[in-house]
């Protein structure tokens, strides 16, 4: 099974019902990049990468497509057999840019899964469950309205909520955490996500002012060094998200004991294959983590769910997919959907998603015949 052709597509994913608001940025539409790999034996595999704008992390859509342009010509004619060899080839074409390589890694696994007639979760070590928990992300908003949405989402079955804070005054941040807690109590686990926006001082104040509320504090400050100084000064467990820029950052955070858990993004970590390493490192230290991504359609959603199914359920913090914030699906027959707060793990070979033919229009780039 050799790579014959690579098509690159762009998909605009507008945010449903208004702006998605975080401390780091406001976004109204996301620019997703898809790769379709066709092989000489007639199979097609899909991958996707979709930074949530150019500010959330050091990734952007144009960068993804430029990186893909460097890598793609060097993959033509290669056998889809050893994922490690393909990863090595990508590294020989381009240093870094794991978020672009992640789209290829997904497509390779999709093809291999189809060839071997197994779902991608099997290639990642094997599923431990047939459904994974989702979590709902509450954007930075007015405290009362946010608490109302929180209660609704928990009623609909979500076992976990993420409350976005920061980028405004401390009083409102403290109010939103209290009001969400009053609205949902122990019915859902809560993460409070600062998206790098708090100073160490405000993080300490927020921690003290919300002392009795059992939440985990996600990426409160900008750098790993700032977050490290919170150790022993805050009582809430601290999780890293944006700072886990690659496998080495995760290894560093674990060995320094900076993080009590993680919000992992599959493309930021360089793809599903690289995620299996950090998944296993977390298992060694009993660290909980999510398996999600910054944004994306059904290809990324499927990738996250396959991976999450391989994580020990007691440490699985949940999967965030963009479904609640975007219209429609790439594959109407086998969409990735949240039902009562959980997502079924696709059982079809490969990723289990086949985008409707022609739905992304003409490719923005084609490599090979």
Kindly tell me which of 9 and 295 has the beta carbon lying closer to ligand 0XW: 295
Q: Which residue of the set 153, 265, 274, 354 is catalytic?
A: 265
Phi, psi values for residue 74, rounded to 5°: -80, -5
Q: In angstroms, rounded to a whole number, what is the distance separating the alpha carbons of residues 78 and 72?
A: 11
Kindly tell me which of 87 and 192 has the beta carbon lying closer to ligand 0XW: 192
> Which of ligand 0XW, Mg ion, none binds 292 (CB below 5-8 Å, type-dependent)?
ligand 0XW
Q: Which residue of the set 164, 179, 274, 354 is catalytic?
A: 164
Binding mask 167-206 for ligand 0XW (x = CB under 6 A): --------------------------x-x-----------
Kindly tell me which of 207 and 241 has the beta carbon lying closer to Mg ion: 241
The helix/strand/coil state of 67 is helix
Segment contacting ligand 0XW (CB under 6 A): 63-71, 118-126, 290-298, 302-310? 290-298
Beta bridge partners of 48: 34
Instruction: Copy the structure tokens of residue 139.
Output: 């954007």
Nearest to 45 by CA among 14, 78, 12: 78
The single residue among 47, 263, 270, 296 that binds Mg ion, judged by CB under 5 A, is 263
H or E stretch covering 343:
strand 342-344
Query: Which spans in 196-246 are helix H?
Result: 200-209, 224-228
Interaction between residue 52 and ligand 0XW (CB under 6 A): yes
User: Which residues, including other chains, have CB under 8 Å from residue 266's CB and lie 6 or more apart?
Assistant: 102, 272, 275, 291, 292, 293, 300, 303, 304, 307
The helix/strand/coil state of 108 is helix
Interaction between residue 317 and Mg ion (CB under 5 A): no
Kindly tell me which of 13 and 191 has the beta carbon lying closer to Mg ion: 191
Interaction between residue 137 and ligand 0XW (CB under 6 A): yes
In the complex, minimum distance from the CB of residue 263 to ligand 0XW, in angstroms, rounded to a whole number: 5
In the complex, minimum distance from the CB of residue 4 to ligand 0XW, in angstroms, rounded to a whole number: 34
Give me the half-sphere count of Cα atoms (radius 13 Å) on the Cβ side of residue 186. Answer: 1
Site residues for ligand 0XW, 262-281, by CB under 6 A, read 263
Beta bridge partners of 221: none
Going along 198-265, which residue ranges are E strands? 215-218, 238-240, 261-265
> Which of Mg ion, ligand 0XW, none binds 320 (CB below 5-8 Å, type-dependent)?
ligand 0XW
Residue 274 is a catalytic residue: no
Nearest to 57 by CA among 190, 217, 192, 219: 219
The single residue among 31, 36, 105, 241 that binds Mg ion, judged by CB under 5 A, is 241
Residue 179 is a catalytic residue: no
What is the spatial order of strands in the sheet that 131-133 belongs to? 131-133, 342-344, 338-339
Site residues for ligand 0XW, 14-43, by CB under 6 A, read 22
Task: Using CB under 6 A, list all residues that contact ligand 0XW.
Answer: 22, 52, 137, 162, 193, 195, 241, 263, 292, 294-295, 320
């Amino acid at each position: 099974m050799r790579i014959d052709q690579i098509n690159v597509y762009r998909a605009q994913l507008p945010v449903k019902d208004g702006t998605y608001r975080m401390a780091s940025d406001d976004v109204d539409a996301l620019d997703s990049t898809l790769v379709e790999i066709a092989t000489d034996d007639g199979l097609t595999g899909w991958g996707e990468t979709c930074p949530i704008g150019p500010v959330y992390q050091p990734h952007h859509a144009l960068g993804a497509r430029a990186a893909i342009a460097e890598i793609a010509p060097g993959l033509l004619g290669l056998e889809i057999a050893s994922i490690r060899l393909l990863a090595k080839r990508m590294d020989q074409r381009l240093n870094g840019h794991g978020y672009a390589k992640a789209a290829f890694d997904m497509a390779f696994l999709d093809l291999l899964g189809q060839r071997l007639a197994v779902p991608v979760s099997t290639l990642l070590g094997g599923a431990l469950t047939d459904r994974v928990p989702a979590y709902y992300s509450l954007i930075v908003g007015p405290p009362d309205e946010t608490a109302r949405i929180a209660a609704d989402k928990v009623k609909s079955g979500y076992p976990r909520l993420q409350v976005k804070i920061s980028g405004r005054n401390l009083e409102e941040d403290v109010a939103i955490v209290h009001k969400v807690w009053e609205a949902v109590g122990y019915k859902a686990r809560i993460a409070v996500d600062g998206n790098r926006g708090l100073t160490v001082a405000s993080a300490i104040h927020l921690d003290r002012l919300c002392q009795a509320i059992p939440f985990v504090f996600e990426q409160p400050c900008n750098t790993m060094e700032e977050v490290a100084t919170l150790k022993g000064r805050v009582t809430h467990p601290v999780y890293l998200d944006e700072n886990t820029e690659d496998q080495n950052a995760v290894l560093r955070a674990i060995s320094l004991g900076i993080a009590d858990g993680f919000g992992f993004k599959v493309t930021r970590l360089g793809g599903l294959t690289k995620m299996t390493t950090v998944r296993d490192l977390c298992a060694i230290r009993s660290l909980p983590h999510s398996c999600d991504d910054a944004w994306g359609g059904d290809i990324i959603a499927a990738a996250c769910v396959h991976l999450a199914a391989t994580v020990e359920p007691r440490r699985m913090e949940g999967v965030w997919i963009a479904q609640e914030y975007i219209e429609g699906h790439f594959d109407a027959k086998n969409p990735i959907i949240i039902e009562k707060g959980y997502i079924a793990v696709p059982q079809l070979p490969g990723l289990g998603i086949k985008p409707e033919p022609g739905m992304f229009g003409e490719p923005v780039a084609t490599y090979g015949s």
